[in-house]
Chain A
Amino acid sequence: DSGVTQTPKHLITATGQRVTLRCSPRSGDLSVYWYQQSLDQGLQFLIQYYNGEERAKGNILERFSAQQFPDLHSELNLSSLELGDSALYFCASSSPGSREETQYFGPGTRLLVL
């Protein structure tokens, strides 16, 4: 158990809909990272938050957004869903200091868009 929690575990929805994925980082970690894993693209970085502020963006679509709340949990919002958004979505967290690249992953949310 990495200490990172994600809900829900599975999500099935229809094209055009909007969903929210939730992540709680490990106790004491200030950084939250979101990744998408698909068969064709592998594990891809989406976005990072540090202590409530957006720090870095990767290949995140404009239809996707995220935020980190004062209690440090984070939500990833996916809107106008398309079939190709079906994937595993992971969040990871790391602690402040010199080894922030050492990230611990949650169990993921499997999204299926029908």
Chain B
Amino acid sequence: EAGVTQFPSHSVIEKGQTVTLRCDPISGHDNLYWYRRVMGKEIKFLLHFVKESKQDESGMPNNRFLAERTGGTYSTLKVQPAELEDSGVYFCASSRRFQETQYFGPGTRLLVL
């Protein structure tokens, strides 16, 4: 069974540009989560999808971040415009059902210059 995949693995952009991160969850997993680790800090929850619906987006830092999961399969996280403090590692995770183990993808390392 393929794991959670994320694309790209690395992204370097300039402040003010737009970046779109993609996450493909494990097949059959209805629950998809985005997390972020900023340097020196702990991993923090951003949002949770159940199929195509946003179940909880309380962790989204501001309206420069837009997450979508059209069709309930893969998800994208767009940052527009990117700021320096957006740099970090963005992890995606998925689980089959609520409260089941969340499996993490390898992350996208974003550097905003």
A, B bound: no
Residues in A lying within 8 Å of B, measured CB to CB: none
